[in-house]
Amino acid sequence: MEQPVAHPSGASTLSVLMPRAEGLVIPFAALLAGSLAFSLFLLLVGKSPVTFFGLVWMAGFSTAFSWQNTLSQVAPLLFAALCVALPARLGLVVIGGEGAIVLGGLAAGVAGTQATGWPPAAGLGFMALCAMALGGGWIASIGALRIKRGVNETIASLLMAYIAIALFNHLVEGPFRDPASLNKPSTLPLTEGLRIGEMPLISAHWGVLVGILACIACWVLIERTTLGFAARIAGDNLRAAQVQGLPVGRLVVGFTALGGVFAGLAGFFEVAAVHGSANGSLIAGYGYTGILVAFLARHNPLAIIPVAILLGGFAASSGLIQRRMDLPNATILVFQGMIFVSILLSETVYGRFKIFTPAYWEGR
């Protein structure tokens, strides 16, 4: 009787690991391809790619001061990326996190003026709740439009982001303006008791730690709970999920609302830890950079953490690049745009390489 052939344990291990490695190798290759394309762009304008990437390393990662600058950019990127990644698990492309960030910051700033004299914990809690409520409601309305009226969530979220920014400018320059803010309209400044300080040992505010914990919690929600499993089923096939009796409408509205909650929380930390009031500095493009972070991480909440740190380092280097290389401040945005295009193109190659399939390794 023919005996079964025992395959090497290494092959069986690779059959498990290699399919998972696809989600790491392809985004890394896309990041490299975008960097190479940007290097060609620099050469065309007569600048050195070696100098550029050297300055990115110097400004973003080389010293403790560099890390301080990088981490100051990380917190809003973590929250903004979650605003994209959570709805994406249901197959939704929501790119309007910028609007929820600025409205969340506005809500926090206005709430802070009403909480003057409160105990710090109560005042900060009230500010955070107001920011999360407004941000969550704003993005949840996009999910509701998708379910109730079939409105494309990508277009709706982008348009609503512009509406949110216009509404923010109107309110900050009008009803909620501090009369003493002459050159830069803003809400009344927060009292010292309502400001969030830095964490011990590292020069970064507490929003960084909260953002990391939020990413971990979202990973647990998506990967280890029945609610997350239902969301993944709905994301794979919305119609099939409806046939199976899953509450698709509640899932869509709930996950978009949760994404908006995190975007609003980003606005809260920007006001309470960075700016001290709601002003035009809140419109910093974190919501749009968060789209790149989420796509580069393939909407995995745990992968969002290192990607946000990487993109935070890029953003922290823009000033040094402008001074040393005589390039516009928007150079980093061009770099990020090329990476984003590369990431979108990389979506077409998933599943095309046999080396990442279990069948390739079986019997080897």
pLDDT tens for 140-172 read 999 999 999 999 999 999 999 999 999 999 999
For residue 210, the SS3 value is helix
Average pLDDT over residues 312-318: 92
pLDDT band of 12, cuts 50, 70, 90: low
For residue 205, the SS3 value is strand
User: Per DSSP, what are the bridge partners of residue 186?
Assistant: 279
In angstroms, the CA 165 to CA 194 distance is 25
Average pLDDT over residues 177-199: 91
In angstroms, the CA 200 to CA 72 distance is 15
Say if residue 130 is exposed, middle or buried (CB neighbours under 10 Å; 0-12, 13-18, 19+): buried
Q: Please, how many CA atoms are within 13 Å of residue 112, restricted to the half-sphere of its CB?
A: 32
pLDDT band of 269, cuts 50, 70, 90: very high
Residue spans of the domains in the chain: they are 23-40+49-60+330-351, 65-316
pLDDT exceeds 60 at position 225:
yes
In angstroms, the CA 77 to CA 211 distance is 9
CA 206 from centre of chain:
17
In angstroms, the CA 67 to CA 55 distance is 14
CATH: 2.60.120, 3.90.950, 1.10.3470, 2.60.40. Which one for 65-316?
A: 1.10.3470
Report the amino acid identity of residue 111: A
What the block records as the tokens of 275 is: 């700016």
**pTM reported for the whole predicted model:** 0.90
In angstroms, the CA 24 to CA 81 distance is 18
In angstroms, the CA 26 to CA 345 distance is 11
Say if residue 81 is exposed, middle or buried (CB neighbours under 10 Å; 0-12, 13-18, 19+): buried
Q: Please, how many CA atoms are within 13 Å of residue 293, restricted to the half-sphere of its CB?
A: 37
What the block records as the tokens of 264 is: 């609003």
pLDDT band of 304, cuts 50, 70, 90: very high
Q: Which residue from 207, 220, 191, 3 is spatially nearest to 115, judged by alpha carbons? A: 191
State the pLDDT at residue 241: 79
